Structure 1
Amino acid sequence: MPIQAPLLDDRRFDDLVADMVARIPAHTPEWTNPRPGDPGRTLIELFAWLGDALLYRVNLIPERQRLVFLKLLGMGLRPARAASTVVQLSFAQPTELATATLAAGAAVKGPLPFETQSEITVLPVTAEAYIKRALDDAERARLSDVISGLQRIHRVTGAAAPYETQRVFAGERAEAQGVDVFAASADRALWLALLAPAAPRGTPQAGVNDQVRAALGGGAARVQLSVGVVPALQMPALFEDIAAPAPVPVVWEVSTRGRTALETDYLSVEPVADSGAGGGSEGAADTTRGLTRAGTLRLPLPAQDFLWAPSNDVVENPAAGVGDTPPRVDDAERAGRIVAWLRLRPRPGANVQRLPLSWIGINAVEIDQRRTLAAQVLGASTGAPDQRFSLPAGSVEAETLVIQVEEPGSGWRVWGRVDDLAAISDDPHVAREARVFELDAAAGELRFGDGVRGRIPEHGMRVRLGSGRFGGGAAGNLPPLTLTEISGRFVNPAATPALKVAQPLATQGGADAETLDEAQRRIPALLRHRDRAVTGLDYERLAREAPGVDVGRVMVLPRFMPRDRRFEVPGVVSVMALPAQPLSGAPNPRPDKPFLERLHAHLAPRAPLATELYVIGCEYVPLGLATSVALRDGYGREAVLSEVREALKRLLWPLAPGGTDGGGWTLGRAVRERELEVEISRVPGVREVLGLNLFRKGVGETGPQWQLLPRAAGGAQTLPLMPWQLPELLTVVVADELGGLPANLSAAPNPFAQATAVAVPVVPELC
Structure 2
Amino acid sequence: MPILPPSLDDRRFDDLVEDLIARIPAHTPEWTNPRLGDPGRTLIELFAWLGDALLYRANLIPERQRLVFLKLLGMGLKPAQPARCIVSLAFAQATELGAHTLGPYGTVKAPLPFETLAETTVLPLTGEAYMKRRLTATERARRADVLHGLQRIHGLSGTPQGYETTPLFVQGQAVADGVDVFAQSADRALWIALLAPLAPTPEGQPAVNAAVTLAMGTGGGGLPALLSVGVVPALSRPAPLDTVSAPTPVPVLWELSTRGRNARVADYLTLGVQTGTDTSGGLARAGTLRLQLPGQREIWAPSNNVGQNPLAGVGDNPPRLDDPERGARLVAWLRLRPQPGENVSSLKLAWIGINAAELDQRTTITGRVLGASNGAGSQSFALPLGSVDADTLEVQVEAPGQGYQAWTRVDDLAAVSADAAVAREATAYELDAEAGTLRFGDGLRGKVPEREMRIRLKRGRFGGGRAGNLPASSLTELRAKHLDDSNAPAIQVLQPLAAGGGEDAETLALAEKRIPARLRHRDRAVTEEDYSRLAAEAPGIDLGRVEVLPRFKPQDRRFNVPGVVTVMGLPAAALQPAPNPRPDRPFIERLHAHLAARVPLATELYVIGCDYVPLGIAVAVQLRDGFARDKVLLDVREALRRLLWPLAPGGLDRQGWPLGRGVRSRELEVEVSRVDGVDELRGISLFQRNGDNWQALPTIASDGAQILGLQRWQLPELLSVVAVEGTAPPSNLDALPNPFAVGNAVAVPVVPELC
Structure 2 residue aligned with 1:752: none
Structure 2 residue aligned with 1:727: 716
| Residue pair 1:173, 1:480 contacting (<8 A) in 2 also | no
Q: Which amino acid aligns with 1:556?
A: V
Structure 1 residue aligned with 2:32: 33
The alpha-carbon deviation at position 175 of structure 1 amounts to 0.9
1:164 aligns with 2:143: no
Q: Which amino acid aligns with 2:590?
A: R
Cα deviation per residue 1:471-513 (whole Å; 9 max; x = unaligned)?
Answer: 0001111111111122122336777422111111110000000
Structure 1 residue aligned with 2:735: 746
Q: Which amino acid aligns with 1:33?
A: T
> Could you tell which deviates more after superposition, 197-206 or 733-742?
733-742
1:435-584 to 2 correspondence within 5 Å?
Answer: 435-491=427-483, 496-584=488-576
Distance 1:435 1:740, change over 3 A: closer
Structure 1 residue aligned with 2:591: 599
The alpha-carbon deviation at position 176 of structure 1 amounts to 0.9
Distance 1:368 1:493, change over 3 A: closer
1:293 aligns with 2:292: no
Find the partner of 1:689 among 681, 685, 693. 681
Structure 1 residue aligned with 2:604: 612
Alpha-carbon separation, structure 1, partners of 2:629 and 2:50: 60
The alpha-carbon deviation at position 63 of structure 1 amounts to 5.8
Structure 1 residue aligned with 2:693: 705
Alpha-carbon separation, structure 2, partners of 1:382 and 1:160: 83
1:654-693 to 2 correspondence within 5 Å?
Answer: 654-693=646-685
Instruction: Give unmatched runs, 5+ long, in structure 1.
Output: 275-284, 750-756
The alpha-carbon deviation at position 49 of structure 1 amounts to 5.4
Alpha-carbon separation, structure 2, partners of 1:230 and 1:457: 47
RMSD: 2.4
Structure 2 residue aligned with 1:717: 706
The alpha-carbon deviation at position 53 of structure 1 amounts to 4.6
Structure 2 residue aligned with 1:331: 323
The alpha-carbon deviation at position 679 of structure 1 amounts to 1.8
The alpha-carbon deviation at position 24 of structure 1 amounts to 6.4
Where 1:501 maps in the other structure, the secondary structure is: strand
Where 1:336 maps in the other structure, the secondary structure is: helix
Alpha-carbon separation, structure 2, partners of 1:39 and 1:684: 52
Structure 2 residue aligned with 1:76: 76
The alpha-carbon deviation at position 761 of structure 1 amounts to 7.1
Alpha-carbon separation, structure 2, partners of 1:62 and 1:343: 64
Structure 1 residue aligned with 2:299: 307
Structure 2 residue aligned with 1:242: 244
Structure 1 residue aligned with 2:274: 272
Alpha-carbon separation, structure 1, partners of 2:138 and 2:53: 86
Structure 2 residue aligned with 1:279: none
Where 2:590 maps in the other structure, the secondary structure is: helix
Alpha-carbon separation, structure 1, partners of 2:354 and 2:525: 44
Where 1:540 maps in the other structure, the secondary structure is: helix
Where 1:458 maps in the other structure, the secondary structure is: coil
Alpha-carbon separation, structure 2, partners of 1:133 and 1:253: 19
Distance 1:134 1:460, change over 3 A: same
Cα deviation per residue 1:411-455 (whole Å; 9 max; x = unaligned)?
Answer: 222222111111111222222222221111101111111122222
Q: Which amino acid aligns with 1:722?
A: Q
The alpha-carbon deviation at position 743 of structure 1 amounts to 2.4
Cα deviation per residue 1:644-687 (whole Å; 9 max; x = unaligned)?
Answer: 22222211111111111111111011111122222222222333
Alpha-carbon separation, structure 2, partners of 1:397 and 1:385: 26
Distance 1:431 1:321, change over 3 A: same
Using the aligned pairs only, state the percent identity: 62
The alpha-carbon deviation at position 748 of structure 1 amounts to 5.2
The alpha-carbon deviation at position 527 of structure 1 amounts to 0.4
| Residue pair 1:396, 1:469 contacting (<8 A) in 2 also | yes
| Residue pair 1:416, 1:437 contacting (<8 A) in 2 also | yes
Where 1:373 maps in the other structure, the secondary structure is: strand
Distance 1:334 1:50, change over 3 A: closer
Alpha-carbon separation, structure 1, partners of 2:631 and 2:699: 31
Where 1:606 maps in the other structure, the secondary structure is: coil
Structure 2 residue aligned with 1:642: 634
The count of corresponding residues between Structure 1 and Structure 2 is 742
Where 1:375 maps in the other structure, the secondary structure is: strand
| Residue pair 1:554, 1:576 contacting (<8 A) in 2 also | yes
The alpha-carbon deviation at position 81 of structure 1 amounts to 0.4
Find the partner of 2:363 among 365, 368, 371. 371
The alpha-carbon deviation at position 738 of structure 1 amounts to 9.2
Alpha-carbon separation, structure 2, partners of 1:550 and 1:762: 43
Structure 1 residue aligned with 2:622: 630
Structure 2 residue aligned with 1:87: 87
| Residue pair 2:619, 2:685 contacting (<8 A) in 1 also | yes
The alpha-carbon deviation at position 693 of structure 1 amounts to 2.4
Cα deviation per residue 1:130-171 (whole Å; 9 max; x = unaligned)?
Answer: 111111221111112222232232222343211111111115
| Residue pair 1:173, 1:481 contacting (<8 A) in 2 also | no
Distance 1:266 1:172, change over 3 A: closer
Q: Which amino acid aligns with 2:275?
A: A
Alpha-carbon separation, structure 1, partners of 2:590 and 2:217: 41
Alpha-carbon separation, structure 1, partners of 2:307 and 2:516: 78
Alpha-carbon separation, structure 1, partners of 2:49 and 2:688: 67
1:413 aligns with 2:405: yes
TM-score (structure 1 length as normaliser): 0.92
Structure 1 residue aligned with 2:743: none
Structure 2 residue aligned with 1:185: 185
| Residue pair 1:733, 1:745 contacting (<8 A) in 2 also | no
| Residue pair 2:685, 2:729 contacting (<8 A) in 1 also | no
Where 1:333 maps in the other structure, the secondary structure is: helix
Distance 1:310 1:29, change over 3 A: closer
Where 2:511 maps in the other structure, the secondary structure is: helix
1:127 aligns with 2:127: yes
Where 2:597 maps in the other structure, the secondary structure is: helix
Alpha-carbon separation, structure 2, partners of 1:136 and 1:43: 90
The alpha-carbon deviation at position 309 of structure 1 amounts to 0.7
Q: Which amino acid aligns with 1:546?
A: A
Distance 1:517 1:259, change over 3 A: same
> Could you tell which deviates more after superposition, 8-17 or 222-231?
8-17
Where 1:87 maps in the other structure, the secondary structure is: strand
Q: Which amino acid aligns with 1:317?
A: N
Alpha-carbon separation, structure 1, partners of 2:116 and 2:173: 20
Where 2:666 maps in the other structure, the secondary structure is: helix
1:60 aligns with 2:60: yes
Alpha-carbon separation, structure 2, partners of 1:295 and 1:691: 56
Q: Which amino acid aligns with 1:242?
A: V
Cα deviation per residue 1:387-418 (whole Å; 9 max; x = unaligned)?
Answer: 11111111011111122222332222222211
The alpha-carbon deviation at position 462 of structure 1 amounts to 2.1
Q: Which amino acid aligns with 2:109?
A: K
Cα deviation per residue 1:552-608 (whole Å; 9 max; x = unaligned)?
Answer: 100011111111111112221111111111211111111122211111111122112
Where 2:256 maps in the other structure, the secondary structure is: strand
Structure 2 residue aligned with 1:280: none
Structure 2 residue aligned with 1:277: none
Cα deviation per residue 1:199-235 (whole Å; 9 max; x = unaligned)?
Answer: 2125332222111111100163121100000011111
Where 1:643 maps in the other structure, the secondary structure is: helix
| Residue pair 2:256, 2:333 contacting (<8 A) in 1 also | yes
Alpha-carbon separation, structure 2, partners of 1:586 and 1:38: 65
Instruction: Give unmatched runs, 5+ long, in structure 2.
Output: 739-747
Structure 2 residue aligned with 1:224: 226
1:210 aligns with 2:204: no
